[in-house]
């Protein structure tokens, strides 16, 4: 009777928190059936094509799009925070010397930033201090990442410029050259597209950490750790490696896909936990990929991607099975066309998503509650203890 009662009253199990609503938010919403993404009510297409990344950060952090004066007041102090201390640069240089993985290097570098925080004694409940820390981290991540890449190439870091936008400045620090308008605009749009996406794994991780009133450095470091996994942030790298395999095989991309599928393989960048149709962010990046191809004269990456999408859509019918291109399917080739090393794609994801992480953190601590879920116990219930000498 006891065992039967336990079976009847056992709580429902939702592994991976599938479909579980754990909080409310005013930040972003996804309609997976319609292929729609909004930030605070604004369509992602309008924000990506009509607003800068800094405007989107203002929207996420402060609840509204800024006017010109508000934008200037928002951008200027963040630009002044781009410099990182010599101690952080020395650490980043050592990580590069040890050939550390870029995401691990970014995680360690962001953690190190806390040693130089100008407000080390801020109370954990001080949301205004949290916001200032978030601004500092957001401003410094591009500097840390660009410095790491240059150190590992045997080059010195390039000082950030305060007269360039967030996206443009990163490309400048990475290459030493100011990007052209198409490149800067495309990268800015890519940052906007990745800024927030509901309560995904990394965002939820930051909330779990900050709900304990650990500081923002701990929370963002945890978010980077969660994003590092290939089931979350690493898929865009996989897409580009796939396109390179296609190129090196000498096969037509359709032939390559056919062989891959026949051997039981898969094409990365397809399918999403939420979207049942083509990711709206993929549509935007597809257009930018075409524009970059036209601008540079190198069209094969765009051609490969569109050919594969057309085949998987029209011949295999994956969208009819609710499997469609996600944002990674096009972001990989877009970043490659911008001259960004493949293993920096996921750190760039973090460089953008930190804006969403901070927005969710600030929203959550307004009515903070320690996140403490439970697991359903499925183990034995009446074991007889045997003393050590009798086992």
Active site residue 232: yes
Q: Which two tokens mark 287? A: 């257009």
* H-helix segments, the chain: 2-9, 44-50, 53-62, 68-80, 86-97, 102-113, 127-152, 166-175, 181-193, 201-210, 216-227, 235-249, 253-262, 280-296, 300-314, 327-337, 345-365
The answer to whether the beta carbons of residues 144 and 92 sit under 8 Å apart is yes
Given the residues 232, 247, 303, 343, the one annotated as active site:
232
- Residue 336 CA to residue 133 CA, distance in Å, equals 31
Given the residues 149, 215, 279, 328, the one annotated as active site:
328
Q: Which two tokens mark 319? A: 């969208």
Given the residues 166, 272, 302, 360, the one annotated as active site:
272
- The Cβ of residue 17 has, within 10 Å, a number of other Cβ atoms equal to 12
Active site residue 238: no
Q: Which two tokens mark 180? A: 């052209």
**Helix H or strand E encompassing 42:** strand 42-43
Active site residue 328: yes
Using alpha carbons, select from 195, 232, 190, 199 the residue that is nearest to residue 340: 190
Q: Could you give the residue numbers annotated as active site?
A: 232, 272, 328
């Amino acid at each position: 009777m006891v065992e039967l009662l336990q079976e009847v009253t056992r709580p429902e199990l939702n592994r991976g928190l599938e479909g579980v609503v754990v909080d409310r938010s005013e930040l972003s919403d996804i309609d997976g059936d319609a292929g729609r993404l909004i930030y605070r009510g604004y369509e992602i297409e309008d924000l990506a094509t009509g607003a800068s990344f800094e405007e989107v950060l203002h929207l996420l952090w402060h609840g509204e799009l800024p006017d010109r004066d508000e934008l200037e007041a928002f951008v200027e102090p963040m630009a002044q925070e781009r410099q990182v201390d010599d101690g952080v640069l020395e650490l980043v240089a050592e990580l590069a010397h040890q050939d550390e993985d870029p995401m691990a290097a970014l995680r360690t570098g962001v953690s190190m930033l806390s040693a130089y925080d100008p407000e080390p004694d801020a109370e954990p409940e001080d949301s205004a201090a949290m916001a200032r820390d978030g601004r500092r981290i957001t401003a410094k991540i591009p500097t840390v990442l660009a410095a790491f890449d240059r150190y590992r190439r045997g080059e010195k870091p390039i000082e950030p410029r305060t007269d360039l936008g967030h996206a443009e400045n990163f490309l400048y620090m990475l290459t030493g050259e100011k990007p052209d308008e198409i490149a800067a605009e495309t990268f800015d749009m890519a940052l906007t597209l990745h800024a927030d996406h509901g309560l995904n794994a990394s965002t939820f991780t930051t909330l779990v950490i900050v709900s304990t009133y650990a500081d923002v450095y701990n929370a963002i470091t945890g978010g980077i750790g969660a994003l590092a996994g290939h089931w979350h942030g690493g898929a865009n790298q996989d897409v580009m490696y796939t396109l390179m395999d296609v190129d090196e095989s000498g096969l037509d991309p359709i032939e390559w896909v056919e062989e891959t599928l026949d051997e039981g393989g898969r094409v990365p960048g397809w399918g999403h936990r939420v979207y049942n149709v083509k990711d709206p962010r993929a549509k935007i990046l597809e257009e930018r990929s075409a524009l970059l191809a036209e601008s540079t004269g190198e069209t094969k990456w765009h051609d490969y991607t569109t050919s594969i999408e057309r085949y998987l859509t029209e011949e295999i019918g994956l969208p009819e099975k609710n499997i469609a291109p996600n944002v990674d399917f096009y972001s990989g080739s877009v970043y490659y066309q911008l001259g960004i090393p493949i293993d920096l794609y996921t750190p760039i994801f973090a460089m953008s998503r930190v804006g969403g992480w901070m927005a969710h953190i600030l929203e959550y601590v307004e009515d903070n509650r320690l996140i403490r879920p439970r697991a359903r116990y499925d183990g034995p219930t009446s074991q007889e203890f045997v003393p050590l000498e009798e086992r």
